[in-house]
DNA sequence: ACAATAGTGTCTTTCAGACAGTATTTG
DNA sequence: CAAATACTGTCTGAAAGACACTATTGT
């Protein structure tokens, strides 16, 4: 059992790096020999959008095995040879499979076990993305027959691999985070009305919001400079609505 | 470009699985042949504790190269052959390197790029753990010369690999989460006083808390059944304090 | 005029921060 | 007794929920 305290951080610092260099180079050369078994590492993407007051997720229909013809999250193998950072890899996969780029993306969770893919042990780093559907052309890439925005609730039971689990975790994160982080702005076009935003919140959370209280919340954001009013108004069946813009923090 | 709506989830469900079985088995057999290059996958652990009103992290001194003799987060390679789930792997590594088990553990973030380890491209799944230091014997395992609880602030600039980055992310997560999730209870012994808890919060957040307001917060938890009063009192230099217990949700 | 939708005002409750004060122990 | 620490009460302001009300458009 080690001592439990140690109050001299200076003493703890590295040995002189010069001294180590020779040994370390030697070690690194030797290291190549014993090759630990390595898992395949993939990237999976939960990209959410709201359309027709419905929360949707971007899915592809699988062209190849396994799960051929089934709907799945877009994703693919991490390109180790290229040396890409995992976030670069996630953006590359999304681009390749759906021609979508410039997305809000955050890392969600990493799943790794022997059963989630019939091809053997895999580790997948899952990502959560947000996109205003309205402004986006999507297009199936090489590995997919089709790419579509489909309602989360309908699709949850029908996905390939363990993608239902991944999507559930993503949904939980999105629902939890929308209340305290300014991420709803990623789901609407650059200019939007308060009722637009309210629709997004309702679709994400699956509940309704009192229009008056909801509005007051964003009035505070206006005062705090989080959003600003934009030119013009937006016409509806009734009184036209003021238009706002998210001031992306610099 | 695909259609943007699709309202018949039934039609989207899998093709008949029986029909696919033959093709899929064929495919899986063929799959073994082309072997994508795979990254090494490791697990790293940020285990926090509070002692002497100081936030500490469990570190090991590296026995081997690279970064021999430097302090680092405990961790190691995921055992793919054993088929362990990544969380099992994290708990195994912690046990092997420090003889510590039964820890609150949550997944933190996954780091993967070509530069974080001189041995080449690695992916590491980092975990955040919490432990009441007082009740824990730690002991260095096979890969470590020493294992100690060291102050986070002092050690941050002196860690091996990119462990300073990992530790920073862990610290940020801990500080953010302690305010809204009942995780502070993982940092104190089974029974504790309100001043004990307040000390933990202060150590984690690096700020002080008004005793009166802090107490009121936990009085509400008492009413909500999150904590309950335990027998006895705890003696100090002044008036003895009431003792409480966290009622772990079932 | 009326339907429809955008937007305001107000009351109540909850909760956090500031801070003055009381209670119970040891020495 | 004083010193030290635990604990209580009260004022204030910010923010959320409920809900009644006003404003501006199209038909």
- In terms of CA atoms, which chain A residue is nearest residue B28? A119
Q: What percent of chain A has pLDDT over 70?
A: 83
Of B231, A95, A97, B189, the closest CA to residue A87 belongs to: A95
Predicted confidence (pLDDT) at residue B17 exceeds the cutoff of 50: no
Rounded to whole angstroms, the distance from the CA of residue B2 to the C1' of nucleotide D25 is 37
CA angle B204, B205, B209 (to 5 degrees): 110
| B38 to A36: CB separation less than 8 angstroms, yes or no | no
Banded model confidence at residue B167, pLDDT cuts 50, 70, 90 = very high
Q: Which residue, counting CA atoms, is nearest to the C1' of nucleotide C21? A: B212
Q: Which of B39, B107, B146 sits opposite A110 (nearest CB)?
A: B107
* pLDDT tens digits for range B124-133: 999 999 999 9
Predicted confidence (pLDDT) at residue B4 exceeds the cutoff of 60: no
Predicted confidence (pLDDT) at residue B153 exceeds the cutoff of 70: yes
Predicted confidence (pLDDT) at residue B90 exceeds the cutoff of 50: yes
| A125 to B146: CB separation less than 8 angstroms, yes or no | no
Q: Which of A41, A69, A137 sits opposite B38 (nearest CB)?
A: A41
| B123 to A125: CB separation less than 8 angstroms, yes or no | yes
Of A159, A88, A97, A154, the closest CA to residue A127 belongs to: A88
| A121 to B83: CB separation less than 8 angstroms, yes or no | yes
Stretch among A1-10, A129-138, B216-225 having the lowest mean pLDDT: A1-10
| B4 to A138: CB separation less than 8 angstroms, yes or no | yes
Q: Which of A37, A69, A125 sits opposite B81 (nearest CB)?
A: A37
Residues B89/B79, Cβ–Cβ less than 8 Å: yes
Banded model confidence at residue B14, pLDDT cuts 50, 70, 90 = very low
Banded model confidence at residue A136, pLDDT cuts 50, 70, 90 = low
Average pLDDT over residues B201-210: 97
Sign of CA dihedral B192, B197, B198, B199: positive
Bases of chain D with protein Cβ within 7 A: 3-10, 15-20, 23-26
Q: Which of B6, B69, B154 sits opposite A148 (nearest CB)?
A: B6
Task: Say what the pLDDT of residue A65 is.
Answer: 85
Structure tokens at A208: 């309704």
Chain B residues with CB inside 8 Å of A1's CB? Answer: 137-139
* pLDDT tens digits for range A62-103: 988 899 999 999 999 999 999 999 999 999 999 988 888 889
Predicted confidence (pLDDT) at residue B164 exceeds the cutoff of 60: yes
Protein contacts of strand D with Cβ less than 7 Å away: A 210, 212-213, 216-217, 220, 233, 235, 237-240; B 193-195, 211-213, 215-216, 219, 236-242
Specify the higher pLDDT residue, A137 or B13: A137
Chain A residues with CB inside 8 Å of B24's CB? Answer: 65-66, 68, 118
Predicted confidence (pLDDT) at residue B140 exceeds the cutoff of 80: no
Predicted confidence (pLDDT) at residue A21 exceeds the cutoff of 60: no
Give strand letter and number of the nucleotide nearest A235 (CA to C1').
D25
Q: What percent of chain A has pLDDT over 90?
A: 73
Query: What length does chain A have?
Result: 250
């Amino acid at each position: 059992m080690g001592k439990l305290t140690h109050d001299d951080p200076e003493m703890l610092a590295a040995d002189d790096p010069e001294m180590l260099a020779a040994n370390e180079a030697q070690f690194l050369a030797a290291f190549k020999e014993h090759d630990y078994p390595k898992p395949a590492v993939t990237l999976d993407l939960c990209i959410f959008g709201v359309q027709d007051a419905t929360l949707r997720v971007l899915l592809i229909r699988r062209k190849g095995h396994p799960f051929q013809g089934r709907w799945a999250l877009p994703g693919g193998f991490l390109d180790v040879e290229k040396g890409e950072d995992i976030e670069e890899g996630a953006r590359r996969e999304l681009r390749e499979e759906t021609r979508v780029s410039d997305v809000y993306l955050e890392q969600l969770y990493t799943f790794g076990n022997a059963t989630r893919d019939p091809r053997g042990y895999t580790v997948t780093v899952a990502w959560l993305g947000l996109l205003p559907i309205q402004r986006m052309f999507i297009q199936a890439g090489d590995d997919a027959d089709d790419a579509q925005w489909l309602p989360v609730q309908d699709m949850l039971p029908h996905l390939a691999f363990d993608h239902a689990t991944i999507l559930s975790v993503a949904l939980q994160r999105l629902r939890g985070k929308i209340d305290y982080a300014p991420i709803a702005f990623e789901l609407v076009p650059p200019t939007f009305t308060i009722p637009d935003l309210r629709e997004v919140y309702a679709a994400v959370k699956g509940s309704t919001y009192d229009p008056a209280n909801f509005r007051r919340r964003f009035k505070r954001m206006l005062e705090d400079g989080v959003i600003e009013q934009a030119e013009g108004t937006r016409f509806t069946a009734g009184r036209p609505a003021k238009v706002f813009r998210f001031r992306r923090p610099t």
